[in-house]
Amino acid sequence: MESSRFRSIYGGDQIVVKIKSKIEEEINAIFSSDRPWVAIVWDDPVNLMDYVTYVFMELFSYSRERATELMMKVHTEGKAVVSEGTREEMEHDVARLHEYGLWATLQRGDQG
């Protein structure tokens, strides 16, 4: 009884509705399928450059030239985007990269 009185005095119902609406907007933005997601491979002190190149060729069917280019980006810049797609596809790619022992994460493509 006390909480409903508090809400009616201070307009709490309107605040709750606005907060709920904002949360739903943010959730929809995160999970919308029209926004691309990316898989990122990070530099690590463990895997050899030839091995990383091999993994990129094996998993993504990249040419040796493209795989080497991405490997060098990981090595020199600390990370590289290696694939792009839906969130589910990137979760799958990251899991596969982990199976090969690479450090990988996913994020929305518009997060830079």
Q: How far is CA 108 from the centre of its chain?
A: 5
27 assigned to some structural domain: no
Q: What is the pLDDT of residues 32-89, one digit of tens each?
A: 656 799 999 999 999 999 999 999 999 999 999 999 999 999 999 999 999 999 999 9
Alpha helix (H) residue ranges in the chain: 2-10, 12-31, 49-60, 64-77, 87-99
Who has greater pLDDT, 45 or 18?
45
Who has greater pLDDT, 111 or 41?
41
Domain count of the fold of the chain: 1
17 assigned to some structural domain: no
pLDDT for res 25 = 72
pLDDT for res 29 = 61
What residue numbers bound the domain in which 104 lies?
35-108
The CATH number linked to 79 is 3.30.1390.10
Q: Dihedral through CA 58, CA 62, CA 104, CA 79, nearest 10? A: 140
42 assigned to some structural domain: yes
Verdict on whether the full-model pTM lies above 0.85: no
